[in-house]
Amino acid sequence: MNWRELLVRFALVFFCLALWPKGGIYLGVGMLTFAWLVDGGMSRCSGLLKEPLIAGILVFCAIWLLGLLWGDFAAITQGKWRKYFLLLAFIPLFSLLNRERLPWAAGALLSGYLGMVVLGGYQWVAQGMQGIPLLDMSYLSYSATLGTGVILAVFLGWEALSAGKKIQSVLLWFAALLLLFLQLNQSARGLLIATLAALLLMIVLRYRREWKRLAGGLTFIMLAVGLFAANSDVFQERLQQVHVDLQSFQQGVYATSAGYRLAMWDVGLHGIAEKPLLGHGSGMAEKYFEDTIATYKQGIYRDLPEFQNTAHYHNELIEIGMNLGILGVLAFGFLLWSWFQSFKRHNLLLPGSAIVCFVFMAGWTDTFLLYSRIPSFLLAVTAITIGWQKYQNTSDTVDLKQG
């Protein structure tokens, strides 16, 4: 094994482990990009464009760059919108993976994920804290990682069952229930709904021609969620808080979790209506909110920055629409379609449908793609899953020819 191969394998492992510490993703992307260039990645660019997800990422990021042309230069360097460019990490990651490197990346990704889940579970059980303070991971990010784990564990359980490995499938489904239980004890309501929507979609697609199993699967999930929710003080508190927040909003009190989101969406939709085609320009969304609330609807939202710093619009479509208008929303839709197509072309309909559904649904209550850690994790899962499927099919074809 030469030094170049060692560098590539180190970069893959480092990237997968660097997803979780605060700021580690940037070091991971840098190392991954450097290894890709050393490995001659630029010479493989033409072939990479054939992968739908890579085309979707490039178009999406290109539109954000284009949006700089009609934005305010003073606002370009502000805000979180630049995190969308972390999606580009998929290009070197996908390009570097081959049969020999795949186990290294998969092992590192699984090890890092399990360590993060255990650490978060310990924080909740032993200290009654949500999220992972040690990693500066909020309850939202932790809940998102738990949700993606639920989806993947259920899918892998089906795969193990199809291979005749019943014990492994039962263990994986038990792990999925454990992750779902942990997620129900985090305060992220929107991400929980996204997880359940993706899970139900997978069950429907899996058993759409087997009515008894479909009914049984849906019933089991609903009973499990109901049981977990009934025994979760966190879930009960958040459910009650929604009711209280909505009542406060109707009374003109907007400094609450739900009220703040509704106010942001109100201003955001107003801003999109002003410039529906191209938006206000990349990086302009936050500045627009703070400039507008002083006069919009007689200034009823003017005090909201004191309640929470303006960072984003808590909705992926509104956030993108504010910056880039319909053009940006179409680019986002193309990104999700391309993501699904990459799974579909490798016969991975179930995980592809679930992951895209999860990303879309999670974006209804937050700007999910700006989380940095979780989208990068999902892209790593995508690259490794596609690679595993591709090389497994290649091995099967070789075995058939030899037989």
Asked if 160 and 175 count as a contact pair (C-beta separation under 8 A), the reply is no
Which of the residue ranges 8-22, 71-85, 89-103, 198-212 would you say has the lowest mean pLDDT?
71-85
For residues 125-131, average pLDDT:
88
Structural domain boundaries, residue 78: 3-239+313-402
Q: Is residue 179 part of a domain?
A: yes
Please report which confidence band the pLDDT of residue 275 belongs to, taking 50, 70 and 90 as the band edges: very high
Q: Output the six-digit token pair for 129.
A: 């804290």
Looking at the predicted structure, is the pLDDT value of residue 394 above 50? yes
Looking at the predicted structure, is the pLDDT value of residue 256 above 90? no
Please report which confidence band the pLDDT of residue 63 belongs to, taking 50, 70 and 90 as the band edges: very high
How far is Cα 49 from Cα 29, in angstroms, rounded to an integer? 20
Asked if 139 and 130 count as a contact pair (C-beta separation under 8 A), the reply is yes
What are residue 132's DSSP bridge partners? 137
Asked if 254 and 260 count as a contact pair (C-beta separation under 8 A), the reply is yes
pLDDT at position 253: 85
Q: Output the six-digit token pair for 81.
A: 């919108």
For residues 44-49, average pLDDT:
83
Mean pLDDT of the chain: 90
Count of the separate structural domains present in the chain: 1
Please report which confidence band the pLDDT of residue 306 belongs to, taking 50, 70 and 90 as the band edges: confident
pLDDT digits (tens, 9 = 90+) for 143-185: 999 999 999 999 999 999 999 999 999 999 999 999 999 999 9
Looking at the predicted structure, is the pLDDT value of residue 17 above 50? yes
Helices then strands, each counted (H, E), the chain:
18, 0
Looking at the predicted structure, is the pLDDT value of residue 304 above 50? yes
pLDDT digits (tens, 9 = 90+) for 284-300: 888 889 889 989 998 89
Please report which confidence band the pLDDT of residue 49 belongs to, taking 50, 70 and 90 as the band edges: confident
Asked if 40 and 394 count as a contact pair (C-beta separation under 8 A), the reply is no
Looking at the predicted structure, is the pLDDT value of residue 74 above 70? no
pLDDT at position 245: 81
Q: How far is the CA of 90 from the CAs of 2, 10, 95, 109, 294, in angstroms?
A: 25, 17, 8, 14, 41
Torsion of CA 199, 204, 207, 212, to 10 degrees: 100
How far is Cα 258 from Cα 239, in angstroms, rounded to an integer? 11
pLDDT at position 52: 95
SS3 274: helix
Q: Is residue 276 part of a domain?
A: no
For residues 20-33, average pLDDT:
93
Residues with Cβ within 8 Å of 377's Cβ and at least 6 positions away in sequence, in order, are 19, 109, 113, 145, 148
Looking at the predicted structure, is the pLDDT value of residue 400 above 50? no
Give me the phi and psi of 132, to 5 degrees please: -135, 90
Looking at the predicted structure, is the pLDDT value of residue 403 above 60? no
Q: Is residue 273 part of a domain?
A: no
Q: Is residue 70 part of a domain?
A: yes
Give me the phi and psi of 137, to 5 degrees please: -105, 120
For residues 134-142, average pLDDT:
91
